[in-house]
């Protein structure tokens, strides 16, 4: 038996990463951001061209609006089956194929002679987008090390934000100028361009690593406790989104007292909300990797901001501050939630977690809108901030209880989170037996199995041409035998 500390302490350079290790693969992430831009623009396109599309198809505006609801339902129903069918394929190829399907759906809608054809095409597009969101989420996690995941997610989700802020208004302007069908054709062209870029420009190794991770999913190697925590956190994220989107559904009503005193009225307030949300995504990327409780902090802040909407009538300045703070902290929620879910899933369940995210977000938005409608109808708009804040508060408390570290001795002040330990003490790593093709690096970070903060061992098992990597804290590994294929305790 050989103590791995001797292996690690044999050189002063052990654990030192090359300068390029912390650099983000900007080109690949920006291309994935273009894909999310296309997805969001395509999803909201009927709302952007509502009057023109209604007249062109000879149906009511309510029926055109229903196309957005049909889209959300198809995403929820189709995401998991499609991810399961495609889990063994190159993720770049899956994203490219789904973007082509989205382009085809959008073109069919553009030339649809009747409402039924447009509705069927929207179902096809929604299925493609469900697969797109799931696979893009997984590929984003493949492209970067865990300590940079928040930054990568923020870049990719920035495309989705631009889709709302720029893509949808631009489509509306285009529809008014030359017709709604031209707007759909334009989005189809963007989708095809994104498909080519994803397939031929993104980093090739990312997709191969993702395929290897999915093979381990099929092998059922993720512990039950890890899956339970993943599902618990995901359900709490859904509850958090119910509260936030419940308030957001009636944002125009909630900001009316402030909007009446602001030049531009409601339009100005919504524009401020959009800008502040973009700032929130940037902050999530900047600070989201520093603590696994970042989502909990943002959730509590969102609850306080939503509750403060009850006091916007005090003064216009108070209303502006409340709306901006709400937008910043809630804008960080999607990136922080996605980062946490993907970290909890680890490489083994990355595809599964990627599919969870769009399902949870669509269900949260739908349930939040339904809850808000019931509250406003029964108790009036004044009750909505209170109810929404209570829902958000329950979710925040649940997340805090689920994510707070259990037990002592799981962390060490020897190094900051994510920083490598060059010469770990013998007590910081488990004694292991190394095969001829194994190597290890001790570092401080988050365990992929139990999300413990503290010293860990980074195990690389050379499995054919591709490495399988397990990142497990020694106590967890010794207790569960998680990495028995990679190492065994003495």
Q: Which domains does the chain have, with CATH numbers?
A: 4-12+412-480 (no CATH), 26-149+158-202 (1.20.1250.20), 223-404 (1.20.1250.20)
Nearest Cα to Cα of residue 412 among 424, 400, 422, 402 = 424
Size of the chain in residues: 490
Q: What is the pLDDT of residue 340?
A: 85
The residue written with tokens 């004694």 in the block is 431
Which tokens sit at 48? Answer: 């952007």
Q: Which helix (H) or strand (E) holds 468?
A: strand 466-472
Its pTM stands at 0.67
Please, are residues 341 and 354 in contact by the beta-carbon 8 Å criterion? no
d(CA 41, CA 49): 11
d(CA 421, CA 270): 47
Q: Could you report the per-residue pLDDT of 90-115, keeping only the tens digit for each?
A: 888 999 999 999 999 999 999 999 99
Q: Which residues of the chain are modeled with pLDDT < 70? A: 1-22, 203-225, 289-292, 405-490
Q: What is the pLDDT of residue 448?
A: 45
Give exposure, 398-418, as e/b (b: 16+ Cβ within 10 Å).
bbbebbeeeeeebeeeebebb
Q: What is the pLDDT of residue 190?
A: 93
């Amino acid at each position: 038996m050989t103590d791995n500390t001797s292996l690690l302490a044999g050189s002063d350079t052990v654990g030192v990463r090359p300068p390029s290790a912390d650099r983000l693969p900007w080109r690949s992430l920006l291309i994935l951001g273009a894909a999310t831009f296309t997805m969001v623009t395509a999803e909201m396109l009927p709302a952007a061209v509502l009057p023109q599309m209604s007249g062109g198809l000879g149906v009511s505006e309510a029926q055109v609006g229903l196309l957005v609801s049909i889209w959300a339902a198809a995403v929820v129903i189709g995401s998991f089956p499609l991810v399961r069918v495609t889990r063994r394929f190159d993720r770049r190829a899956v994203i490219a194929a789904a973007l082509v399907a989205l382009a085809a759906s959008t073109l069919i809608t553009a030339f649809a002679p009747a409402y039924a054809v447009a509705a069927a095409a929207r179902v096809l597009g929604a299925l493609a987008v469900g697969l797109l969101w799931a696979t893009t989420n997984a590929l984003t996690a493949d492209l970067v090390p865990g300590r940079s995941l928040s930054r990568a997610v923020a870049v990719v989700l920035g495309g989705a934000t631009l889709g709302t802020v720029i893509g949808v208004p631009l489509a509306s302007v285009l529809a008014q100028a030359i017709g709604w069908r031209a707007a759909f054709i334009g989005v189809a062209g963007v989708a095809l361009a994104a498909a080519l870029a994803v397939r031929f420009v993104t980093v090739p190794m990312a997709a191969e690593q993702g395929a290897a991770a999915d093979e381990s999913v099929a092998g059922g190697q993720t512990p039950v406790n890890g899956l339970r925590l993943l599902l618990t956190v995901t359900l709490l994220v859904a509850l958090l989104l119910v509260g936030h989107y419940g308030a957001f559904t009636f944002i125009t009503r909630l900001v009316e007292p402030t909007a009446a005193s602001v030049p531009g009225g409601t339009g100005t307030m919504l524009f401020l909300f959009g800008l502040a949300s973009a700032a929130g995504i940037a902050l999530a990327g900047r600070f989201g990797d520093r603590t696994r409780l970042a989502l909990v902090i943002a959730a509590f802040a969102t609850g306080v901001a939503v509750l403060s909407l009850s006091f916007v009538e005090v003064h216009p300045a108070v209303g502006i501050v409340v709306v901006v703070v709400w937008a910043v902290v809630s804008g960080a929620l999607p990136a922080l939630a996605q980062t946490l879910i993907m970290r909890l899933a680890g490489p083994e369940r990355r595809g599964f977690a990627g599919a969870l995210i769009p399902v949870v977000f669509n269900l949260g938005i739908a349930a939040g809108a339904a809850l808000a409608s019931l509250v406003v109808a029964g108790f009036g708009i004044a009750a909505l901030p209170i109810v929404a804040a209570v829902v958000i508060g329950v979710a925040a408390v649940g997340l805090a209880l689920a994510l707070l570290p259990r037990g002592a001795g799981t962390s060490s002040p020897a190094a900051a989170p994510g920083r490598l330990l060059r010469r770990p003490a013998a007590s910081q790593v488990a004694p292991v037996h190394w095969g001829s093709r194994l190597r290890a690096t001790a570092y401080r970070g988050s365990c992929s199995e139990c999300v413990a903060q503290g010293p860990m061992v980074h195990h690389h098992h050379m499995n054919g041409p591709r490495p399988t990597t397990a990142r497990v804290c020694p106590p967890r590994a010794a207790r569960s035998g998680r990495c028995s294929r990679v190492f065994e305790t003495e």
